[in-house]
Amino acid sequence: MRIIIATIFPDFVKVVKEYGVISQAVKDGKLEIEILNLRDFTQDKHKTVDDYPYGGGPGMVMKPEPFYRLYDYVVEKYGKPFVVMTSPQGERFDNKIAMFLSKKENLLILCGRYEGVDERVMKIVDLELSIGDYVLSGGELAAMVICDAVSRFVPGVVEEESLRQDSFFNNLLDHPHYTRPAIFREMKVPEVLLSGNHEEIELYRLSESLKRTAIKRPDLFLKHEFTEKDKQALILLIRGLDKKC
Protein backbone atom coordinates (compact mmCIF):
# COMPACT_ATOMS: atom_id res chain seq x y z
CA MET A 1 0.00 0.00 0.00
CA ARG A 2 1.05 3.57 -0.68
CA ILE A 3 -0.08 6.51 1.50
CA ILE A 4 0.55 9.99 0.13
CA ILE A 5 0.13 13.02 2.38
CA ALA A 6 -0.22 16.49 0.80
CA THR A 7 0.74 19.33 3.15
CA ILE A 8 2.46 22.70 3.33
CA PHE A 9 4.51 21.41 6.29
CA PRO A 10 6.24 18.23 5.02
CA ASP A 11 8.93 18.26 7.74
CA PHE A 12 6.20 18.22 10.39
CA VAL A 13 4.40 15.23 8.86
CA LYS A 14 7.37 13.05 7.88
CA VAL A 15 7.86 11.99 11.50
CA VAL A 16 4.93 9.57 11.05
CA LYS A 17 7.16 7.21 9.05
CA GLU A 18 10.31 7.50 11.14
CA TYR A 19 9.40 5.57 14.31
CA GLY A 20 7.94 2.28 15.51
CA VAL A 21 6.29 -0.45 13.47
CA ILE A 22 5.51 1.92 10.59
CA SER A 23 9.17 2.81 10.21
CA GLN A 24 10.06 -0.89 10.08
CA ALA A 25 7.27 -1.59 7.58
CA VAL A 26 8.59 1.17 5.31
CA LYS A 27 12.13 -0.23 5.54
CA ASP A 28 10.83 -3.74 4.74
CA GLY A 29 8.91 -2.49 1.70
CA LYS A 30 5.52 -3.52 3.11
CA LEU A 31 4.32 0.06 3.14
CA GLU A 32 5.21 3.22 1.25
CA ILE A 33 4.58 6.68 2.71
CA GLU A 34 5.23 9.70 0.49
CA ILE A 35 5.02 13.30 1.71
CA LEU A 36 4.30 15.92 -0.95
CA ASN A 37 4.76 19.64 -0.39
CA LEU A 38 1.72 21.48 -1.73
CA ARG A 39 3.89 24.54 -2.38
CA ASP A 40 5.82 22.56 -5.01
CA PHE A 41 2.64 22.56 -7.10
CA THR A 42 2.21 26.33 -7.24
CA GLN A 43 3.24 28.43 -10.24
CA ASP A 44 4.20 31.79 -8.77
CA LYS A 45 7.58 32.75 -7.34
CA HIS A 46 6.13 33.15 -3.83
CA LYS A 47 4.66 29.62 -3.88
CA THR A 48 1.26 30.98 -2.80
CA VAL A 49 -1.25 28.41 -1.54
CA ASP A 50 -3.89 30.74 -0.05
CA ASP A 51 -5.87 33.87 -0.88
CA TYR A 52 -8.60 36.13 0.52
CA PRO A 53 -12.12 34.66 0.60
CA TYR A 54 -14.73 35.83 -1.89
CA GLY A 55 -17.54 37.59 -0.03
CA GLY A 56 -15.21 38.82 2.71
CA GLY A 57 -14.65 37.42 6.17
CA PRO A 58 -11.69 36.60 8.42
CA GLY A 59 -8.67 34.52 7.50
CA MET A 60 -7.49 33.02 4.25
CA VAL A 61 -8.70 30.18 2.05
CA MET A 62 -6.49 27.54 0.42
CA LYS A 63 -6.44 27.89 -3.37
CA PRO A 64 -7.72 25.05 -5.59
CA GLU A 65 -4.93 25.10 -8.20
CA PRO A 66 -2.13 23.51 -6.09
CA PHE A 67 -4.43 20.69 -4.96
CA TYR A 68 -5.46 19.90 -8.53
CA ARG A 69 -1.89 20.00 -9.84
CA LEU A 70 -0.77 17.71 -7.03
CA TYR A 71 -3.69 15.37 -7.72
CA ASP A 72 -2.89 15.27 -11.45
CA TYR A 73 0.74 14.48 -10.60
CA VAL A 74 -0.31 11.55 -8.39
CA VAL A 75 -2.73 10.21 -11.01
CA GLU A 76 -0.08 10.36 -13.73
CA LYS A 77 2.54 8.69 -11.53
CA TYR A 78 0.49 6.01 -9.72
CA GLY A 79 -3.02 5.96 -11.18
CA LYS A 80 -6.18 7.36 -9.59
CA PRO A 81 -5.87 7.41 -5.77
CA PHE A 82 -8.59 7.24 -3.15
CA VAL A 83 -8.64 10.81 -1.80
CA VAL A 84 -9.30 11.78 1.82
CA MET A 85 -9.70 15.36 3.02
CA THR A 86 -9.11 16.02 6.72
CA SER A 87 -11.95 18.24 7.93
CA PRO A 88 -13.91 18.92 11.14
CA GLN A 89 -17.01 18.56 8.95
CA GLY A 90 -16.10 15.03 7.89
CA GLU A 91 -17.28 11.61 8.96
CA ARG A 92 -15.88 10.51 12.32
CA PHE A 93 -12.79 8.37 11.77
CA ASP A 94 -12.86 4.96 13.46
CA ASN A 95 -11.42 1.46 13.30
CA LYS A 96 -13.90 0.33 10.64
CA ILE A 97 -12.90 3.17 8.30
CA ALA A 98 -9.20 2.47 8.97
CA MET A 99 -9.71 -1.14 7.86
CA PHE A 100 -11.58 0.06 4.75
CA LEU A 101 -8.83 2.51 3.78
CA SER A 102 -6.08 -0.08 4.33
CA LYS A 103 -7.41 -2.01 1.33
CA LYS A 104 -6.76 0.92 -1.05
CA GLU A 105 -3.67 0.61 -3.24
CA ASN A 106 -3.04 4.36 -3.28
CA LEU A 107 -4.41 6.62 -0.55
CA LEU A 108 -3.99 10.38 -0.89
CA ILE A 109 -4.63 12.48 2.26
CA LEU A 110 -5.09 16.22 1.75
CA CYS A 111 -4.29 18.50 4.70
CA GLY A 112 -6.30 21.69 4.93
CA ARG A 113 -5.19 24.88 6.70
CA TYR A 114 -6.31 28.44 7.45
CA GLU A 115 -10.09 29.06 7.28
CA GLY A 116 -10.56 26.13 4.94
CA VAL A 117 -10.09 24.84 1.40
CA ASP A 118 -11.74 26.18 -1.74
CA GLU A 119 -14.95 24.16 -2.13
CA ARG A 120 -14.06 23.20 -5.70
CA VAL A 121 -11.34 20.91 -4.35
CA MET A 122 -14.10 18.66 -3.00
CA LYS A 123 -14.77 17.44 -6.54
CA ILE A 124 -11.65 15.23 -6.33
CA VAL A 125 -12.29 14.12 -2.72
CA ASP A 126 -13.78 10.67 -2.05
CA LEU A 127 -14.16 10.96 1.70
CA GLU A 128 -13.99 13.75 4.31
CA LEU A 129 -12.72 12.57 7.69
CA SER A 130 -12.66 14.12 11.15
CA ILE A 131 -10.77 12.69 14.13
CA GLY A 132 -13.01 14.44 16.68
CA ASP A 133 -15.34 17.31 17.43
CA TYR A 134 -12.70 19.99 17.84
CA VAL A 135 -10.69 22.25 15.54
CA LEU A 136 -6.94 21.90 14.93
CA SER A 137 -4.61 24.47 13.37
CA GLY A 138 -4.43 22.26 10.30
CA GLY A 139 -5.04 18.79 8.97
CA GLU A 140 -1.51 17.48 9.50
CA LEU A 141 -2.09 15.92 12.91
CA ALA A 142 -5.31 14.33 11.69
CA ALA A 143 -3.51 12.98 8.61
CA MET A 144 -0.83 11.44 10.82
CA VAL A 145 -3.45 9.79 13.03
CA ILE A 146 -5.23 8.37 9.97
CA CYS A 147 -1.93 7.21 8.46
CA ASP A 148 -0.89 5.44 11.67
CA ALA A 149 -4.25 3.70 12.20
CA VAL A 150 -4.58 2.63 8.56
CA SER A 151 -1.01 1.33 8.41
CA ARG A 152 -1.67 -1.14 11.23
CA PHE A 153 -4.12 -3.02 9.00
CA VAL A 154 -1.74 -3.34 6.06
CA PRO A 155 -0.71 -7.04 5.92
CA GLY A 156 2.63 -7.66 7.60
CA VAL A 157 2.88 -4.32 9.42
CA VAL A 158 1.45 -5.65 12.72
CA GLU A 159 0.97 -9.30 13.71
CA GLU A 160 -2.60 -10.44 13.05
CA GLU A 161 -2.96 -11.80 16.60
CA SER A 162 -1.99 -8.41 18.00
CA LEU A 163 -4.64 -6.70 15.84
CA ARG A 164 -7.32 -9.06 17.11
CA GLN A 165 -6.50 -8.06 20.68
CA ASP A 166 -6.53 -4.32 20.01
CA SER A 167 -9.27 -2.11 21.42
CA PHE A 168 -12.28 -1.68 19.09
CA PHE A 169 -11.63 -4.93 17.24
CA ASN A 170 -15.09 -6.59 17.11
CA ASN A 171 -16.43 -3.63 19.13
CA LEU A 172 -14.54 -4.61 22.30
CA LEU A 173 -11.97 -2.73 24.37
CA ASP A 174 -8.66 -4.42 25.16
CA HIS A 175 -8.20 -6.49 28.32
CA PRO A 176 -5.88 -5.38 31.19
CA HIS A 177 -2.16 -6.06 30.77
CA TYR A 178 0.46 -6.98 33.41
CA THR A 179 4.21 -7.60 33.47
CA ARG A 180 6.89 -8.25 36.12
CA PRO A 181 7.06 -8.02 39.07
CA ALA A 182 4.17 -10.26 40.12
CA ILE A 183 3.67 -8.13 43.24
CA PHE A 184 4.20 -4.36 43.17
CA ARG A 185 3.41 -2.21 46.24
CA GLU A 186 1.14 -4.99 47.50
CA MET A 187 -0.76 -5.07 44.19
CA LYS A 188 -0.81 -8.59 42.76
CA VAL A 189 -1.09 -9.83 39.21
CA PRO A 190 -4.26 -11.99 38.85
CA GLU A 191 -3.38 -15.60 39.67
CA VAL A 192 -4.88 -16.98 36.47
CA LEU A 193 -2.20 -15.15 34.44
CA LEU A 194 0.50 -16.98 36.41
CA SER A 195 -1.17 -20.39 36.07
CA GLY A 196 0.22 -21.32 32.65
CA ASN A 197 -3.24 -22.54 31.64
CA HIS A 198 -3.65 -20.82 28.27
CA GLU A 199 -7.32 -21.73 27.86
CA GLU A 200 -8.22 -20.22 31.23
CA ILE A 201 -6.07 -17.16 30.52
CA GLU A 202 -7.81 -16.58 27.18
CA LEU A 203 -11.25 -16.86 28.81
CA TYR A 204 -10.24 -14.53 31.65
CA ARG A 205 -8.92 -11.90 29.25
CA LEU A 206 -12.08 -12.07 27.16
CA SER A 207 -14.27 -11.69 30.27
CA GLU A 208 -12.26 -8.64 31.34
CA SER A 209 -12.54 -7.20 27.84
CA LEU A 210 -16.31 -7.62 27.92
CA LYS A 211 -16.52 -6.07 31.39
CA ARG A 212 -14.40 -3.07 30.43
CA THR A 213 -16.44 -2.46 27.31
CA ALA A 214 -19.77 -2.70 29.13
CA ILE A 215 -18.59 -0.20 31.77
CA LYS A 216 -16.58 2.26 29.68
CA ARG A 217 -18.23 1.99 26.25
CA PRO A 218 -21.74 0.55 26.53
CA ASP A 219 -22.43 1.81 23.01
CA LEU A 220 -19.79 -0.60 21.67
CA PHE A 221 -20.95 -3.41 23.96
CA LEU A 222 -24.47 -3.21 22.51
CA LYS A 223 -23.07 -3.46 18.96
CA HIS A 224 -20.95 -6.52 19.72
CA GLU A 225 -22.08 -9.82 18.21
CA PHE A 226 -21.65 -12.46 20.92
CA THR A 227 -19.94 -15.74 20.05
CA GLU A 228 -20.09 -18.97 22.02
CA LYS A 229 -16.72 -18.03 23.56
CA ASP A 230 -18.10 -14.65 24.60
CA LYS A 231 -20.98 -16.36 26.40
CA GLN A 232 -18.55 -18.61 28.26
CA ALA A 233 -16.55 -15.54 29.29
CA LEU A 234 -19.72 -13.82 30.54
CA ILE A 235 -20.57 -16.88 32.64
CA LEU A 236 -17.07 -16.73 34.17
CA LEU A 237 -17.54 -13.02 34.86
CA ILE A 238 -20.96 -13.48 36.48
CA ARG A 239 -19.71 -16.35 38.66
CA GLY A 240 -16.84 -14.15 39.82
CA LEU A 241 -19.23 -11.36 40.74
CA ASP A 242 -21.52 -13.83 42.53
CA LYS A 243 -18.62 -14.99 44.75
CA LYS A 244 -18.00 -11.40 45.83
CA CYS A 245 -21.62 -10.90 46.90
Q: Is 134 annotated as a binding residue?
A: yes
**Distance of CA 179 to CAs 183, 193, 199, Å?**
10, 10, 19
Q: Is 112 annotated as a binding residue?
A: yes
Contact by Cβ (8 Å): 118, 62: yes
Task: For residue 40, say whether it is annotated as part of any ligand binding site.
Answer: no
CA 199/CA 79 separation, integer angstroms: 48
CB proximity list for 101: less than 8 A, separation 6 or greater: 82, 84, 107, 146, 150
Q: Which residues are identified as catalytic?
A: 88, 115, 152, 166
Is 158 annotated in some ligand binding site?
no
Q: Is 29 assigned a ligand-binding role in the annotation?
A: no
The reply to whether 94 sits in an annotated binding site is no
- Please indicate if the annotation marks 237 as binding a ligand: no
**In whole angstroms, what is the distance from residue 112 CA to residue 118 CA?**
10
CA dihedral 166, 168, 173, 176 (to 10 degrees): 10
Residues comprising the binding site for S-adenosyl-L-methionine? 112, 131-136
Annotated binding site: 112, 131-136
